[in-house]
A and B are shown apart, each in its own frame.
Chain A
Amino acid sequence: MGTRYWYKAFAVAAISGLVLAACAQGGPAATTAPTAAATATAAPTVASARGTGGDLKILYWQAPTILNPHQATGTKDNDASRLMIEPIAAWGPDGKPFPVLAAEVPTVENGGVTKDLKTVTWKLKSGVKWSDGSAFSADDAAFTYTYQCDPKSATSTDGGCADVASVTAPNATTLVVTYKNPQPFFWLWGVGTSYGVLQKTQFSGCVGEKAKDCPANLKPIGTGPYKLREFKPGDVVLYDLNENYRDPNKPFFKSVTFKGGGDAPSAARAVCQTGDIDFGWNLQVEAAVLRPMVEAADSKCAVSPQFGVLERIHINFADPSASLGAKRSEPDTKHPFFSDINVRKAVAMAANRTAVAEQLYGKYGGVPVCNVVVIPESFVSKNTASLDTCKYDLVAAEKLLQDNGWVKGADGVRAKGGVRLEITYQTSTNAVRQKTQDIIKADLEKIGFKVTLKNAPASTFFTNTSPDGANKFFADLEEFASGQEPDPYGTLLGYTCDERAGSANNWNKGNYSRYCNPEYDKQFQIVRTETDPAKRQAAAVAANDILIKDAVVIPLVNRVAPTADGASKLLKGHQTSAFDSSLWDIANWSK
């Protein structure tokens, strides 16, 4: 297995080496390229007619296996279905809903949302057709709710179901969403990649237990700009233009090839160096590798990052010692030395987030950050930059430990009352993460910790079952990242007392740090229920600041969201939204 990987890696490297050499020699060819690009941009109006473009080539280095967004097992499935299945509204680049099937976005001001923030009325576009020619109606959207929120359907998009009381369709162009409680985040149901609308006729036989094996999952009918021609699960999806698409001028491309497989570096080479591909998803490649590719004189791609995924280190408040047996990392245990805030602070002060962000992530990967809520701008705290837990200062960290009785032993490891500062630091297997571990470890060992690194494959790490997983957290520090919604509710929820992961909830809750602070919970309650936007915002900022001051979590990098996609320089009309699928505006793309 290892050998095969090697052959492939060398082959790619050898081929790209040849290509590079060819480009370097072909001086005249390189100079003609920009001129061709310039003429193309000069005539954008010609390009906007429906179906005048050729084949659009998209490469995802993970291959889609299903085309129903509600049964998706990963972003690749969601995105592959997005060309056909559309939500009522998308999350635009500004973090606000952008109408797709809706005619307008409901707000309190335009009367679409009731004053008590419980009922949201969506007005939908009229005359929309499915790709099979039948008419789309609000009934399809209401059906999607029934399908999605039936527990037996076991959908992967049922996160919002707990808060929704009902979704009904009084007439063909009106959809009413009713929440159980006042919902400050009233766009929760219906917007974004998790709420793709299915055709009722096609999926009505697929609600409940039949959902998983429904044949329609592999050939869904949608309202989007493209329709399915052929799908080979785990390999490739081929689409044709949807003649019934509502905008007569779109889409530009006659067909789309959505290829899956390979790895991030080879995807980057395909879109930036060889130009075989128009759009490469998630170029998660080390800065030193990606940057020369993107910025080379003959580079064929552009990367325009939007940030909004927080890479951070969680500190374990529970005791992960193996000697505890079944009680290991349970929320009612206490960590032997991280229960001392000074030790936590020292760890935070030894985190060189600038080095991690600049050296490993680079300008296409991420920026250093010291907040838990990193988007949207209005909720981001401006108070944290001056805190000592946000400043990389090894001398101060060492002093803090020394002053509080943690004294260095003969082997350079600090101890107090027989408790040694020995740390296990775990994360998922990924070249960038292992290098982050190396950087953090080197600094922690300088100030008197002993650090053992551990990493597990992503498929094991992000589970509630594995002892090496993030949920069980049988370690002292752990690092991972997650995206953030346009509202901080979900992000802040993960640090409340009720959300502490433990065997009682099958390790399924989101508070992996097992942090519990009544003061924090009070601020969070305001975020949950307050209807005054200003007060809610202040509470969210206060909650964020508590987490930083108390050194619960060590934010490192604000990474690109949703992914650092590479688009061919020839591709036009493409806009990145940090809150939605990479392909959210594919109808607008042209060349």
Chain B
Amino acid sequence: MATAQVRLGAQPAGAEVARPARSLWADAWITFTRDRLAVAGLAVLVLLSVAVLVGPVLWKQTAIDFSRALQGPSLDHPFGVDDLGRDLLARVLEGGRVSIAVGITAVLLAVALGTAIGAVAGYYSWLDNPLMRITDLFLSLPVLPLLLVLIYLFREALQLALGAQLGVFIMIVGVIGILNWMPVARLVRASFLSLKQREFVEAARCVGSPDGRIIFRHILPNVLSPVLVAATIGVGAAIITESTLSFLGLGFPSDTPTWGRLLFDAVNYLDIAPHWAIFPGLAIFLIVLSVNFIGDGLRDALDPRRKI
């Protein structure tokens, strides 16, 4: 704030009063908007999200038609068609709904879980050992057999309780989230361990701040940047994991065209109909890249040490 006051002081008298004080978030937003790549990423993410939300309502060409099987992009079918003659633009738009929702929700869950466990383990040293052993346990679990067990135990029940689509969605988001929080927890714990020895935390403790306030107000903002980077990488991984599950028949029903599913279907046709793989691949590429840029921008914007 000191530098800001110096700058403000240099301005003509009177202007100082007119300018309202900036909050942490407003400040972050201004820093964020200065990062062009981050803004571009946000624009692409918003654009893609709007497209997959509105697109399937406007572009309805899902019928099977063998007479046009494997045709490349044309005016009628901008993304071309697949081997059953289904329009790929329609399928990419429809699949995007599931893929984006799964990617983002699963990562939010993983980050929330990981941050909570990492923070508690890092701050309370008596909980450190048990929590980290649980983290090790989760890291050493063989993923595929565990998925099989989880899915057989909960799929039916969830589908009965929440309906076929939503049940599978919750299950997949849950499974991906539960299997991906461990790296975040380790990152957060490590940062907590080093930060809680620092003077500003000791100072906060001296003035009598309760634990909750120290954790959320003083330490957490400082560990946000590594968490955000981990989260942005996680979105891409979650989209790919979802496609693995679909491929094994454990995910969404095979006629739900998620991006990963479209890619798997297209693999064998790479030399005959490359367009089939290019467009869903491009969509995954764009979403992962834009989320990464946003993550970078957020890291810079929220890092308290980088404030001018």
State the CA gap A13–B143 with chains docked (Å).
28
A295 to chain B, nearest CB (A): 13
Please choose the segment from B48-56, B101-109, B209-217, B239-247 that sits at the chain A interface, where 4 or more of its residues have CB less than 8 A away. Answer: B239-247
- Of chain A, the residue at the smallest CB distance from B261 is A434
A1:B249 contact, CB within 8 angstroms: no
A286:B244 contact, CB within 8 angstroms: no
State the CA gap A472–B262 with chains docked (Å).
30
The reply to whether the CB of B63 lies closer than 8 angstroms to some CB of chain A is yes
A9:B267 contact, CB within 8 angstroms: yes
A442:B64 contact, CB within 8 angstroms: yes
Q: Contacts A286-B268, A438-B255, A453-B255: A2 and B66 contacting too (C-beta < 8 A)?
A: no
The reply to whether the CB of B271 lies closer than 8 angstroms to some CB of chain A is yes
The reply to whether the CB of A467 lies closer than 8 angstroms to some CB of chain B is yes
Please choose the segment from A86-94, A454-462, A513-521, A531-539 that sits at the chain B interface, where 4 or more of its residues have CB less than 8 A away. Answer: A454-462
Picked from A9, A289, A359, A454, the residue with its CB within 8 Å of the CB of B272 is A289
The reply to whether the CB of B35 lies closer than 8 angstroms to some CB of chain A is no
State the CA gap A20–B66 with chains docked (Å).
27
The reply to whether the CB of A452 lies closer than 8 angstroms to some CB of chain B is yes
B255:A441 contact, CB within 8 angstroms: yes
B64:A439 contact, CB within 8 angstroms: yes
Contact mask for chain B residues 231-257; partner A; CB cutoff 8 A; 1 contact, 0 none: 000000000110110011100011100
A453:B254 contact, CB within 8 angstroms: yes
Contact mask for chain A residues 415-434; partner B; CB cutoff 8 A; 1 contact, 0 none: 00000000000001101001
For B83, the chain A residues whose CB sits under 8 A away are 286, 288, 359, 435
For B152, the chain A residues whose CB sits under 8 A away are 466-468
B64:A13 contact, CB within 8 angstroms: no
B272:A288 contact, CB within 8 angstroms: yes
- Of chain B, the residue at the smallest CB distance from A453 is B253
For A460, the chain B residues whose CB sits under 8 A away are 148
Most buried by A among B152, B156, B241, B267: B267
B73 to chain A, nearest CB (A): 18
The reply to whether the CB of B203 lies closer than 8 angstroms to some CB of chain A is no
B113 to chain A, nearest CB (A): 22
Contact count band on A: 35 or more
- Of chain B, the residue at the smallest CB distance from A468 is B152
Q: Contacts A322-B160, A453-B255, A457-B248: A438 and B272 contacting too (C-beta < 8 A)?
A: no
State the CA gap A2–B255 with chains docked (Å).
20
State the CA gap A439–B85 with chains docked (Å).
11
- Of chain A, the residue at the smallest CB distance from B240 is A2
B248:A429 contact, CB within 8 angstroms: yes
Task: Mark out the residues of chain A between 6 and 22 whose CB falls within 8 Å of any chain B CB in the assembled complex.
Answer: 9-10, 13, 16-17, 20
The reply to whether the CB of A3 lies closer than 8 angstroms to some CB of chain B is yes
B150 to chain A, nearest CB (A): 14
The reply to whether the CB of A292 lies closer than 8 angstroms to some CB of chain B is yes
For B63, the chain A residues whose CB sits under 8 A away are 442
A289 to chain B, nearest CB (A): 5
A19 to chain B, nearest CB (A): 10
A329 to chain B, nearest CB (A): 14
The reply to whether the CB of B43 lies closer than 8 angstroms to some CB of chain A is no
A434:B254 contact, CB within 8 angstroms: yes
Picked from A265, A288, A289, A468, the residue with its CB within 8 Å of the CB of B69 is A288
State the CA gap A437–B270 with chains docked (Å).
23
For A467, the chain B residues whose CB sits under 8 A away are 152, 156
The reply to whether the CB of A285 lies closer than 8 angstroms to some CB of chain B is yes
Query: What 18 new A-B contacts, CB under 8 Å, besides A2-B243, A265-B267, A431-B265?
Result: A2-B247, A10-B270, A17-B271, A265-B268, A286-B83, A286-B268, A288-B269, A289-B272, A355-B66, A359-B83, A359-B84, A437-B254, A438-B254, A438-B255, A439-B84, A441-B255, A442-B64, A452-B164
Interface residues of B (CB under 8 A from A): 63-64, 66, 69-70, 83-84, 143-144, 148, 152, 156, 160, 164, 240-241, 243-244, 247-249, 253-255, 260, 265, 267-272
8 contacts between A and B (CB under 8 A): A1-B244, A9-B270, A285-B268, A286-B269, A288-B69, A452-B253, A453-B255, A457-B248
